[in-house]
Structure 1
Amino acid sequence: MTDTTARSVLLLGGAGFMGRALCARLGARGYDVHVLTRGTALEIAEGCTVHGGGIENTELLRRLLPRMGTVVHLASATTPGLSAATPSLEADLNIAPTLGLLGELIAHPRVRLVYVSSGGTVYGDPGGGSADESSELKPLSFYGAGKVAAETFLRCFQQRHGNPLVILRPSNVYGPGQPRYQGFGVIRTMLQHALDGTTMGIWGDGSIVRDFVYIDDVVSAMECFVADDALVGTFNVGAGVGHSLNDLVAIIERVSGRPLSVRHEAARGIDVQRIVLDTRAIRQRCGWTSTTSLEAGVATTWQWLRAQ
């Protein structure tokens, strides 16, 4: 692998929330960043090259992969709520395109693959304490099951073909730049309701606990694995601290100085009750740790949203 190739990174799903942030960070660090996306009107960082096409575009992949040192797979076309009633969406929109990518990577065993999974869903309800990378994978949603299936295919592929493989399991990621999606991104959604003065629907009584991790911290973790090709394996990426939705409501009211109207609705079976990630592995291997407190991250996100 030449020095030029080693500094070339292909971002699949690079126009999404995490992808745009990672693109900006790597571009600023002098990497040759290429973004695959189906979108057209995109705000991509200067110095990053955009290619119109999705992960299923084999012709485009065949043209780009020989020039890449690392592929970061961030592409996901579903949410837990979206595939809840239609589980085949996970197979059609996420798993099948990932298998197509693996088919193309067979010819490029030196190319490193970083797959972004979901630490917030793959463990299901692990009970008390924190979930580490060896915890049982028992997702409650088809979305989480799809991530587990993709991880399994990736490990099998790595064993057969030798491509260096990293699987990252971020918890609930939030921060400036996050778009608003129905049923996804609770901090972004709550802040929008606070801004608009509208009522926020919450599934359950607000006692469910999540590990919220700020976007800049997640991007910093991803950069560690792009920069050091000796790092392989599976790693949680989270704050390592749990906060309930009720805690989050109180934080948002303090940060915004506005009351947040909440309407509680019947709990859903697809929602994990409590998930906090154990991040000792990434801390020991990379020296990485989350540095942004939830209140500080929410405050920055609030300021960004108000400026839109």
Structure 2
Amino acid sequence: MQVVVTGASGFIGSHLVDSLLDAGYNVRAVARRLPGLISTSALSNPRLSLCSIDIKNRLDLESVISGCELVVHLASGSLPLSSNHNPSDDIAVNLLGTINLLEASRFSNVKRVVVVSSGGTVYGLPKSLPIKEDHPTDPICSYGITKLAIEKYVYLYRALYGLDGLVLRVANPYGPRQRLDSSQGVIPVFLGRVMRNENVEIWGSGEVVRDFIYISDLISAITLACSYTGSEHLFNIGSGQGLSLQDLLHKLELLFNRPINVIYKAGRGFDVPVNVLSIDRAISKLSWRPDVLIDDGLKLFYQSLINS
């Protein structure tokens, strides 16, 4: 089967390319800048082709998608913080880019589009925990609003054109190939600062609780979603467990065997206090469950940084 992966050069995308190639797929890796983080072994695989395009260009997308049965959409051009600073760019890149992808997919007779959404932002302030897929969706940042709009367009294209769209609402992924100098992902940011002997900055009191998922667990969920034949079209993908930033710091102190200096800053309005996803549907319908506990995941991530 021929599959297109958008955002293939990034943290999640590069790992997914490895997994799909291992599963026997022919992969077209789509990104603005390639090869990015795509592994050396993947680049040497004859079943991988690189397609450097901008998803805002629909004609280029149609050319790349032509003849493919499956599309996995990971491309994203903003973060929760940056989206609030410039919501128009968030809409132009992420929402309009996704609509271009859906249009190109329906005209190219794609059988399925798997879209990775945000389990951390689309729900907003939780009314119950863990958060199930039927929980109200009231995002409090532009990023979450755009992700939710993308989901609605996926549903629309299924209703209007029969395009089989499947949405994964993903928690906070972490692991090898994640940038330590980025503002995306609290675990790599904290790890980077500790390894550089810098102060760790926390917005708020540190009682914010998040759901963290190791990259290999996320990739196994996406790969299963590619071949899923059931009737569900929406899944939460996370660990199903919550961890406060204070507890994360404690785990890192144990990992490094030394205290960590912390600077506390004023809380941010778009940070929900608690976000823990229910993964019962994914366990039941996708026959998937996460294997890597947070302590093991932190050790694996840290060891990968030492080895590199």
With the shorter chain as reference, the TM-score category is: over 0.9
Q: Compared with structure 1, are the counterparts of its residues 41 and 281 closer, same or farther at alpha carbon in structure 2 (3 Å cutoff)?
A: closer
Q: Distance in 1 between matches of 2:127 and 2:266?
A: 21
Q: Distance in 2 between matches of 1:127 and 1:246?
A: 23
Residue pair 1:256, 1:302 contacting (<8 A) in 2 also:
no
The amino acid that maps onto 1:70 is L
Q: Distance in 2 between matches of 1:201 and 1:181?
A: 13
* Aligned equivalent of 2:169: 169
Residue pair 1:117, 1:170 contacting (<8 A) in 2 also:
yes
Q: Distance in 2 between matches of 1:199 and 1:240?
A: 29
* Aligned equivalent of 1:3: none
* Aligned equivalent of 2:185: 185
Q: Distance in 2 between matches of 1:181 and 1:232?
A: 37
Q: Distance in 2 between matches of 1:223 and 1:182?
A: 26
* Aligned equivalent of 1:31: 25
Q: Compared with structure 1, are the counterparts of its residues 60 and 230 closer, same or farther at alpha carbon in structure 2 (3 Å cutoff)?
A: farther
* Aligned equivalent of 1:129: 129
Q: Distance in 2 between matches of 1:85 and 1:61?
A: 28
* Aligned equivalent of 2:203: 203
Q: Distance in 1 between matches of 2:296 and 2:65?
A: 39
Q: Which moved more, 1:92-101 or 1:212-221?
A: 92-101
Q: Compared with structure 1, are the counterparts of its residues 150 and 160 closer, same or farther at alpha carbon in structure 2 (3 Å cutoff)?
A: same
* Aligned equivalent of 1:219: 219
- The SS at the match of 1:24 is helix
Q: CA deviation at 1:43?
A: 3.9
* Aligned equivalent of 2:298: 298
The amino acid that maps onto 1:36 is V
Residue pair 1:217, 1:291 contacting (<8 A) in 2 also:
yes
Q: Distance in 2 between matches of 1:243 and 1:120?
A: 13
The amino acid that maps onto 1:268 is R
* Aligned equivalent of 1:277: 277
Residue pair 1:17, 1:177 contacting (<8 A) in 2 also:
yes
Q: Distance in 2 between matches of 1:186 and 1:131?
A: 21
* Aligned equivalent of 2:9: 15
Q: CA deviation at 1:228?
A: 3.1
Residue pair 1:171, 1:212 contacting (<8 A) in 2 also:
yes
* Aligned equivalent of 2:143: 143
Structure 1: 5+ residue stretches without partners: 1-6
Q: Which moved more, 1:123-132 or 1:27-36?
A: 123-132
Q: Compared with structure 1, are the counterparts of its residues 38 and 128 closer, same or farther at alpha carbon in structure 2 (3 Å cutoff)?
A: same
* Aligned equivalent of 2:36: 42
Percent identical pairs in the alignment equals 32
Moved over 6 A (4+): none
The amino acid that maps onto 1:197 is N
1:25-104, aligned counterparts within 5 Å? 25-44=19-38, 45-46=42-43, 47=45, 48-104=48-104
TM-score (norm: length of structure 2): 0.94
- The SS at the match of 1:129 is coil
Q: Distance in 1 between matches of 2:173 and 2:119?
A: 10
Give the root-mean-square deviation of aligned CA atoms: 1.5
Residue pair 2:67, 2:108 contacting (<8 A) in 1 also:
no
Q: CA deviation at 1:230?
A: 4.5
Per-residue CA deviations over 1:245-292 (Å, capped at 9, x if unaligned) read: 000000111112232221000000010110100011111111101111
TM-score (norm: length of structure 1): 0.94
Q: Distance in 1 between matches of 2:106 and 2:28?
A: 20
Q: Distance in 1 between matches of 2:249 and 2:306?
A: 18
Q: Distance in 2 between matches of 1:67 and 1:41?
A: 22
Q: CA deviation at 1:65?
A: 2.0
Residue pair 1:36, 1:53 contacting (<8 A) in 2 also:
yes
